[in-house]
Amino acid sequence: MSDGSIPTIVTGLRHGFRQGITRPEAWRRGQLEALRRMLQERASDFEAALAADLGKSGTEAQLTEIGFVIGEVDHALAHLSSWMRPRRVTAPPAIQPASARIVPEPLGVALIIAPWNYPLMLALSPLVGAIAAGDAAIVKPSELAPATSAALALLVPQYLDRRAIAIVEGGAEETAELLAQRFDHIFYTGGGRVGRIVARAAAEHLTPITLELGGKSPAYVDGTVAPAAAAKRIAWAKFLNAGQTCVAPDYVLGTRETLDRLAPASAGAIHDLYGNAVRRNPDYGRIVNDAHFERLVSYLGDGEIVAGGGRDAAERFIEPTVLSVADRDSAVMRDEIFGPVLPLVEVADLDDAIDFVAGRDKPLAAYVFSDDAGVRQRWTAETSSGALTFGAPILHLTVPDLPFGGVGESGQGAYHGERSFRVFSHEKAVLAKPLTPDTLGPTIMPPFTGRKDRLVRQWLGRLR
């Protein structure tokens, strides 16, 4: 990209927005339908790109990326009219007659910075919200998923309105130049280190931000559930996309008795999902690059391998691996793993498990496997996480009306469904009061008489 082109792109999109191109509902619907058409008509191109970047099978690409975004588009199209509709609120008696309403309006030009692990879905899912809200938007795909980035750069301009939507490829230099521009919202998905850079850059322009970060999402298993059933669901959620999922279970907590049953059950679950020859299984992906491969391999010495452990640097292949970890302060328990390594960590009891999670940074999700209602209630009341699910890791993402987002170190702000529309909208307060009859002069405007004083005090008393 030539020097100065990023400011030119931003200026062009802002011009399109100010012309009102993006505001009509018909434009928003047309763009959402075009986005869906692109994903359907060019599905094979995106499947090939995701296979090149991450070794994803076509089925996994459809399930977790292409089909997921199509579902988001369909949900937005079904509800767009109601989301756009002003909402009436009640004006207090003291200022009647008057009407009050909340009018959603587009923020302006948004910047969406996507990560590499779900490089299609996490680029386009926020864009659904921006389009629905009536914003112009720049999408910055991850340079670590170059094939998907190139596919987006090629295809998006063919389907979507170039006056309002642009793709900017590149690495850290281009991202820095983008962050130097003034936007009306920045939506970032990725790690906390870059998240802080984004937040500092946004602060220069007082730009609102959404930060979708990560963290170590725990799973807790107790003796009230069948270990084989729990192990299979944990293994599926953990090893999907070769473990490179922000909401994957990062580690498992359980008592020694529970873990002694869970360890062999986990090995069985891996076999059920991927068979004996995982390396040759097309349903299992690859690590995104050599640096992440080496980082993940370094964790294998932090515990006893109870399942898996095989790897091949040339293929960036790491077998689904389960570790028995004794040291709670080891690197594998400090870092977000973001790969196919699952530590099993012994706790003394439920209190120890809750204390362990509550004493660390708040995770993006927490997963509890227990049929005990009291245990579930304690996890709900005594821990904080972006999401909490019982018996079904990562499936909360499939519910459009559930907010998806973190808390504390795992992020700020949430999206999906209507919340995506709200993220990229400003809720403008609109009040209308006729000039006649004049109800303000006799009640709350000077000169203040004894009667007005009594009226004001009565009114304020009711407000309190």
Cα 376-382-386 angle, rounded to 5 deg: 85
The kind and range of the H/E element at 308 are: none
Distances (CA, A) of 17 to 32, 94, 107, 167, 432: 17, 39, 10, 16, 27
Among 47, 212, 319, 346, the one annotated catalytic: 212
Q: For 254-292, give one letter per residue: b (16+ CB within 10 A) or e.
A: bbeebbebbbebbbbbbeebbeeebeeeebbbbbbeeeb
Residue 43: both structure tokens together = 């599905």
Using alpha carbons, select from 360, 312, 46, 78 the residue that is nearest to residue 215. 360
In what order do the strands lie in the sheet containing 87-89? Answer: 87-89, 99-106, 425-432
In what order do the strands lie in the sheet containing 185-189? Answer: 165-167, 136-140, 109-113, 185-189, 209-212, 411-412
Instruction: Establish whether 169 is a catalytic residue.
Output: no
Among 47, 177, 246, 336, the one annotated catalytic: 246
Contact between 376 and 368 (Cβ < 8 Å): yes
Contact between 187 and 113 (Cβ < 8 Å): yes
Instruction: Establish whether 212 is a catalytic residue.
Output: yes
Report d(CA 112, CA 101) in Å as an integer: 30
Where in the sequence numbering do the catalytic residues fall?
Answer: 212, 246
